[in-house]
Structure formats: structure tokens, C-alpha cells
Amino acid sequence: MTTAMEPVWVGVDVGGTKVLAGVVDVMGHVGRTARRATPGRRVDIAQVEDALEAAVLEAADGFPIAGVGVAAAGFVDAAADRVMFAPHLPWQGQNVRERLSERWGVPVVLDNDANCAAVAEWTYGAARGAHSALVVTMGTGIGGAILMDGRLVRGANGMAGEFGHMQVVPDGQTCECGGRGCWEQYSSGNALVRFARQRMGEQPSVLEEASGGNPDRVTGPMVTEAAEAGDMVARQAFASVGDWLGVGVANLVAAFDPDVVVIGGGVSQAGDRLLEPARNALQRSLVAAAHRAVPPIVSALLGPEAGLVGAAELARRAGGQPRR
């Protein structure tokens, strides 16, 4: 006797460097995952969507798909249909939700990657039980989300929470968004690598050996490993990125006064090496810090899978499937 396979819910996180898809159950646990490289911003849109499709089908592993949630590293419109702008991806106003639904023949839910990560952390992770929370995701760039009373604050255009493109340094570093001095140019994975590359020749560093003496070969994981080994250049890179993180968070706390600030994304896996300088900078930079309860800065609990977990959760909710 043959038993029918139960349909699965799949979340897929589309970032600046990778596509990560995974099957997510009703408890927020991630099962089989699949990864693809992101083709980049200056490619045909179909190439990015091909990578998404390959990752989703591999993660589903032959099981029927009930629905797919897509967490996109870009500005998603208020209707959650279109990626209006993505600094690291080629989508520019396309109806991504409809295109992917037609490709896969299943319902698709689309949202900004930071919003999806925030839903995951609120439902299953570090923001669970808080009345209000700010979620800052640090990867290739910076994303963010605002949660008030359990609801995402999406804004009139659906683009609230794009913290990474706040200007923190007038006429500063050029950003992929076309602006200058954006926060993510000073506190992100890209900023971490750039700092390390620029300082390599100034003092001895294990990064020289790891990169063969070529700064262009230095990567984020190299900097993390070097910092753990005690390398001063790598540790200074984390100190700088962490300090800028705290400065930006102070501005956000002044605006929103949340219960907690959750830091997620790949860079956040450095833990206190990143968060301690951020906490110090928050105390130093926040207006009236001595006369208020300063919210804790904590690590996200769901790690690099938070975006896909939240995307799958949104797809499940849209499909009328309650959490257990």
C-alpha cells in the first residue's frame, strides 16, 4: 500500500551572494536545505530565478510543495508582490511573486528578507515575548525590520526598515544603492572585509598568509577565523564594524524605543566580538542613556536560516496553516 507524501512548506532566502532554500515544519525546524550562488545584479533576471527554482526543488526533494515563501534582499512593495529595488540583485519593479508562482505552480509569498527574519525571531527566537523589537540583519549589507505588538511595520510603500541605507557619513563611502555614506558601508560583511584588506600591510597579520599576500582574496570567513586566532587586524576590523553598529542602533533606539534589538545575519555569528563594541557604542551614543532603560542588543537565535524560516512561516500563515 502506497502512502501519499505530505506537502511541504519551503522558505528561500535570496541574498547578495547566495540563495538558501529549506523545508520548514510547523515548529520552525529546518529540514533539508539547498544552496546556490546568487548570479549577481548585472545578469538576466531569469538566471536569478533559475537559481531559486533549483534550490527550492532540491530542498523539497521530490515532496509536493504546499507553498513557498521568498525572503528577498531588496525593497518589496506594500502589496508584497514586487521587488522594487535590490542593491545586489537585478529585480527592478518586477512582479516576483507572480513570476515565481507561475514557475512553480504553487502559492508564493514574498517579503523583504529582514522582515522574514524578524517574523522568525518573533515567533521562535530572540524577540519572542517582546512587545516591540528592532531586528538588524548583517550580511553583505544591512537590512532591518520593525515589530510592534507582534505586527510588522511595513510603511506606506512597504519599505520601512531599510536601515542600511541611512546616511551616517556625509560624502562617505559610495554605496551600491547609488548613495554615499550609508550605514552598511561601515557596518556589514563588506565593511568588515574592506577594513581588513586596507589594514593588512600596516602590521603583521595571518591574513597575509591566508590570502597569499593578495588583499583582494580576503573573505569574511577568513577575517572571522583570524580574529578567533588572535589576529589584531581582524580584531580591529570587528571592533570598527561593531562600533559603527552601535552608533546606528543608537539612532534607531532614539526613534523607536524598542524592548530589544536583535542582531542577525551572517556577520552576527561573531557574537560578542561584534556585539560588545556595539553595546558600548550604544551607551555612548544614545541620547539620555543614563536616564532610560537602554534595550539589550542580543544575537538572533535562528542564525543564517532565519530569513527562510520566516518566509516559510508567512507562506504557511497565508495558506491558513496554524502553528502548533
Nearest Cα to Cα of residue 311 among 97, 104, 48: 97
Model pLDDT for residues 4-54, shown as the tens digit of each residue: 688 999 999 998 778 999 999 999 999 999 999 887 666 788 888 999 999
Can you give the pTM of this predicted structure? 0.85
Would you kindly state where each structural domain of the chain is located, as residue ranges? Answer: 8-118+305-318, 129-300
CA dist., res. 19 & res. 8, Å (int): 19
Q: What ranges make up the beta strands (E) of the chain?
A: 8-14, 18-24, 30-37, 65-72, 75-76, 83-85, 108-112, 132-138, 142-148, 151-152, 260-264, 297-299
Secondary structure of residue 324 in the 3-state scheme: coil
CATH number of 8-118+305-318: 3.30.420.40
The architecture of the domain spanning 129-300 is: 2-Layer Sandwich (3.30)
Closest CA to 29 of 308, 251, 230, 256: 308
Residues in the chain: 324
pLDDT (0 to 100) of residue 265: 84
| Least confident residue range of 139-143, 261-265, 308-312 | 139-143
d(CA 64, CA 128): 31
Bridge partner residues of 83 (DSSP) = 76, 94
Q: Is the pLDDT of residue 3 over 70?
A: no
Give per-residue pLDDT as tens, 153-175: 999 998 899 899 999 999 999 99
129-300 has the same fold as 8-118+305-318: yes
Predicted local confidence at residue 86, as pLDDT: 84
CA distance readout (Å), 188 to 159, 199, 274, 284, 309: 20, 17, 11, 21, 22
Contact (Cβ atoms closer than 8 angstroms) between residue 271 and residue 299: yes
Q: What is the pLDDT of residues 204-237, one digit of tens each?
A: 888 988 988 899 999 999 999 999 999 999 999 9
